[in-house]
Amino acid sequence: EVQLVESGGGLVQPGGSLRLSCTASGFTFSSRVMYWVRQTPGKGPEWISAISNSGSDIYYTDSVKGRFTISRDNSKNTVFLQMNSLRADDTAKYYCAKIGVRDGFDTWGQGTMVTVSS
Amino acid sequence: AIQMTQFPSSLSASVGDRVTITCRASQGIGIYLGWYQQKPGRAPKQLIYAASNLQSGVPSRFSGSGSGTDFTLTINTLQPEDFATYYCLQDHSYLTFGGGTKVES
């Protein structure tokens, strides 16, 4: 079964840090671009970061550049999102995803909630 | 950045209705568009990929069309389980989601 399982969310104070992990199974992880997408309650999803299959190409949306870092460990089938300098507007459910808009090989994790509050 | 304008933002429908949702891209994206259904508390679920291809396991009452800048999701004969929020997603350049369409009774 193709599966993505996120972990690492929680409550953190403004200015704090969290590291999210997403472990994949059921597909050839090292051949796929991986994404992090977040969604604030009541709003639509927002793409925040992507990493190529080898990890050599990395992309971020403007609102997280310089604060978030995506990485992957293909030997452990895991993608990470290091989140620093967290702000209240980073509060959201964070999803790890293998996006299949072009080929239909689309899988999302269950999401992990990040709450930034004092 | 490519912007995706989705409309309507909400619609009221009844079981058995035909529902049409539209997404317009700010520039041409070929067929690099997918349609997703999301229910409260759940991750988005892909219905359509490459603009018009039905994802495996998705009922045939769902269909997608379009290319370039204008795309449509059609739900024929709306079923009770179809009341949800629908999003388009382009991946021609990075990823951009549409604003969503809430289908309610």
Mean pLDDT (whole number) for B2-17: 97
Per-residue pLDDT of chain A (118 residues; tens, 9 = 90+): 999 999 999 999 999 999 999 999 999 999 999 999 999 988 999 999 999 999 999 999 999 999 999 999 999 999 999 999 999 999 999 999 999 999 989 999 999 999 999 9
Q: What is the pLDDT of residue A88?
A: 97
- Cβ of A101 within 8 Å of Cβ of B33? The answer is yes
Which residue, among A40, A43, A101, would best test binding to B if mutated, counting the most B CBs under 10 Å from its CB?
A101
| Tokens read off for A75 | 């030997």
What proportions of chain B, in percent to the nearest 5, are helix, strand and coil? Answer: 5, 50, 50
- pLDDT at residue A42, rounded to an integer: 87
The pLDDT tens digits of the residues spanning B18-42 come to: 999 999 999 999 999 999 999 999 9
Q: What is the pLDDT of residue B31?
A: 97
For residues B65-93, average pLDDT: 97
The mean of the pLDDT values for chain B is: 97
Q: What pLDDT, on the 0 to 100 scale, is given for residue A118?
A: 95
Phi, psi of A64 (to 5 degrees): -115, -5
Residue with tokens 């991986």: A34
* pLDDT for the residue numbered A96: 98
pLDDT value of residue B8: 97
How far is it, in rounded angstroms, from Cα A36 to Cα A47?
6
Give residue ranges of A with CB < 8 Å to any B CB.
Answer: 35, 37, 44-47, 50, 59, 61, 95, 97, 99-104, 106, 108-111
DSSP B55: P
Task: Check whether B58 has a pLDDT greater than 90.
Answer: yes
The contacts found for B78-82 with CB under 8 angstroms, 24 or more apart, are B78/B13, B78/B14, B78/B15, B78/B16, B78/B17, B78/B18, B78/B19, B78/B103, B79/B15, B80/B15, B82/B19, B82/B37
